[in-house]
Amino acid sequence: MLQPEPWPRVAVVGAGAVGGYFGGLMARSGASVVMIGRRPFVDAVNAKGLYLETLQFQETIRVEASTDLSAVRGAEIVLFCVKTTDTADAARELAPLLAPNAVVVSLQNGVDNAERIRAASGFDAVRAVVYVAAAVKAPGHIQHFGRGDLVIGPETERTKRLAAQFVQGGVPCRVSSNIEGELWVKFIANCALNPVSAIGQAQYGRIADSPNAVKLLEMVGDEVLAVARAAGIALPGVEDRAAALAISMKIATQMREQLSSTGQDLNRGKRTEIESLNGHIVRRGAELGVPTPANHALYTLVELLEGQK
């Protein structure tokens, strides 16, 4: 394994639960971190620091915070954490501000963010699979419920060095030569757990304990797996429907107290990422001739709930 290098400057674009957690850990380990986010988050962090309430520790960490995207200038690692609905616009704004040596890491839900970023801005982002249960409990206060590890790729010298930096920052991280497949493995759980949790207003543990909910997770996973196979994507370790269901069940049992990000967005009256989750499966299924009725139903129901806010 490569030895970690001296800390570069880190910027978090779209600071919230995910960016606050990973950026906060890096700052706690000695990195110079600036968090770029919305006014309530920024004001709270500048006034009192970033409070991390994790399963291992509770600590206030001093970081810079700004509402101005230009604060990204000079950063060598950029954690790109905006909602998928904002990917293209944020990438276009970010492109002229990046340092020539900057590495942008997409810490987002969905499977096609790197393509969206490239189409909008021309730069290539490192793709990452994010496994963490966290929420913004209050402005500047990140609550951590479970896990907190990353898979990045593709496998290059750049991603190996980046993984070493994450590990140095207290973030378990491995590099995959099949990052597309890894993204789709996580995508099974995202498409299953996110809308079911949101529509049912249920934490993951309640879903795992409900036979009917588990059956729905299985139906959604079957469809995601069928679309991936039709698209020629190899999912590491996922050979059949039992393996697909096991992915969702593992996350549901590891993160029992978590309400999905889609559920959190609905509760706050925000636009969700459902278009990039089940909506993506519905569209790809239609293109490939794969039926996706369970995903279509969940996608439609979340859209209807969004319209009530």
Q: How many folded domains does the chain comprise?
A: 2
Assess whether 159 and 191 both reside in one domain. no
pLDDT, residue 5, reads: 60
Structural domain ending residue among the three candidates 152, 177, 202? 177
Provide the CA 252 distance to its chain's centre, in angstroms. 16
Residue range 163-190: average pLDDT?
A: 96
Asked if residue 2 belongs to a domain, the reply is no
Specify the CATH number for the domain of residue 229.
1.10.1040.10
Asked if residue 29 belongs to a domain, the reply is yes
Assess whether 302 and 240 both reside in one domain. yes
CA distance 301 to 232: 29
Asked if residue 4 belongs to a domain, the reply is no
Assess whether 122 and 72 both reside in one domain. yes
Assess whether 159 and 233 both reside in one domain. no
Residues listed for the chain: 309
Structural domain ending residue among the three candidates 119, 151, 177? 177
Range of the domain at 68: 9-177
Assess whether 16 and 124 both reside in one domain. yes
Assess whether 197 and 294 both reside in one domain. yes
Q: Is the pLDDT of residue 6 over 80?
A: no
Asked if residue 268 belongs to a domain, the reply is yes
**Beta-strand runs (E) in the chain:** 9-13, 32-36, 50-53, 58-61, 64-66, 77-80, 103-106, 126-138, 141-153, 173-175
Assess whether 270 and 201 both reside in one domain. yes
Asked if residue 24 belongs to a domain, the reply is yes
pLDDT, residue 1, reads: 43
Choice among 93-102, 191-200, 215-224, 250-259 with the minimum mean pLDDT: 250-259
Residue range 88-105: average pLDDT?
A: 96
What is the average pLDDT score of the chain?
94
Asked if residue 1 belongs to a domain, the reply is no
pLDDT, residue 133, reads: 86
Number of Cβ within a 10 Å radius of residue 293: 11
Assess whether 136 and 215 both reside in one domain. no
Residue range 156-171: average pLDDT?
A: 95
Structural domain ending residue among the three candidates 151, 177, 203? 177
Residue range 171-186: average pLDDT?
A: 97
- Nearest-10 Cα torsion for 146, 116, 179, 208: 40
pLDDT, residue 307, reads: 81
pLDDT, residue 2, reads: 45
Asked if residue 246 belongs to a domain, the reply is yes
Assess whether 94 and 167 both reside in one domain. yes
Assess whether 57 and 120 both reside in one domain. yes
In this structure, are residues 80 and 106 in contact, taking their beta carbons and an 8 Å threshold?
yes
Assess whether 244 and 272 both reside in one domain. yes
Residue range 78-90: average pLDDT?
A: 96
Question: Tens of pLDDT along 128-149?
Answer: 999 998 889 999 999 998 889 9
CA distance 48 to 61: 9
Of all residues in the chain, the percent with pLDDT exceeding 70 is 98
Q: What is the pTM of this model?
A: 0.92
Q: Is the pLDDT of residue 201 over 70?
A: yes
Q: Is the pLDDT of residue 4 over 70?
A: no
Asked if residue 3 belongs to a domain, the reply is no
Question: Tens of pLDDT along 35-44?
Answer: 999 999 999 9
pLDDT, residue 239, reads: 85
Assess whether 77 and 156 both reside in one domain. yes
List the structure tokens of 191.
């498409």
Q: Is the pLDDT of residue 217 over 60?
A: yes
